[in-house]
Amino acid sequence: MSSQSMQHLLTKSERDAFNRDGFLVVPGALEPDHVDQLVTALDPIEAKYRQESGLKPYQELNRLDVIGEDDSLLELIDWPTTFPKVWGILGWHIALYHSHYISKPPLPRHYEKRRLGWHQDSGRLNVDIETEPRPRISLKVGFFLSDASQPDRGNFHVIPGSHLRNSIDFPDDPKQDHPDAVPVLVKPGDAVLFDRRIWHAGGQNCSEVTRKVLFFGYAYRWLKPRDDMTVEHYLARTEDPVRRQLLGASPNGGFGFTSPAEEDVPLKAWIRDHIGKDAVVP
Contacts of 278 (CB under 8 A, 6+ apart): none
The predicted pLDDT at position 1 comes to 85
Residue 167 lies in a domain: yes
Residue 113: predicted pLDDT: 83
Q: Is residue 197 part of a domain?
A: yes
In-domain check, residue 250: yes
Q: Does any domain span residue 98?
A: yes
Is position 278 within any domain?
A: no
* Separation of alpha carbons 171 and 114, rounded Å: 12
Looking at residue 48, which CATH number applies to its domain? 2.60.120.620
**Is the Cβ–Cβ distance between 60 and 244 less than 8 Å?**
no
Interstrand relation of 211-220 and 94-104 (parallel, antiparallel or unpaired): antiparallel
Q: Exposed, middle or buried by CB within 10 Å (0-12, 13-18, 19+), for 243?
A: buried
Domain annotation covers residue 280: no
Residue range(s) defining the domain that contains residue 103: 3-273
Q: How many distinct structural domains can be found in the chain?
A: 1
User: Strand, coil or helix: what is 133?
Assistant: coil
Residues in the chain with pLDDT values less than 70? 277-278, 280-282
In a domain, 282, yes or no: no
Instruction: Decide if 281 is inside a domain.
Output: no
**What is the reported pLDDT for 96?**
98
Q: Convert the pLDDT of each residue in 19-75 to its tens digit.
A: 999 999 999 999 999 999 999 999 999 999 999 999 999 999 999 999 999 999 999
Q: Beginning with the edge strand found earlier in the chain, give each strand of the sheet holding 94-104 in spatial order.
A: 23-26, 191-195, 138-144, 211-220, 94-104, 61-64
For residue 281, the model assigns a pLDDT of 66
| Per-residue model confidence (pLDDT) at position 282 | 63
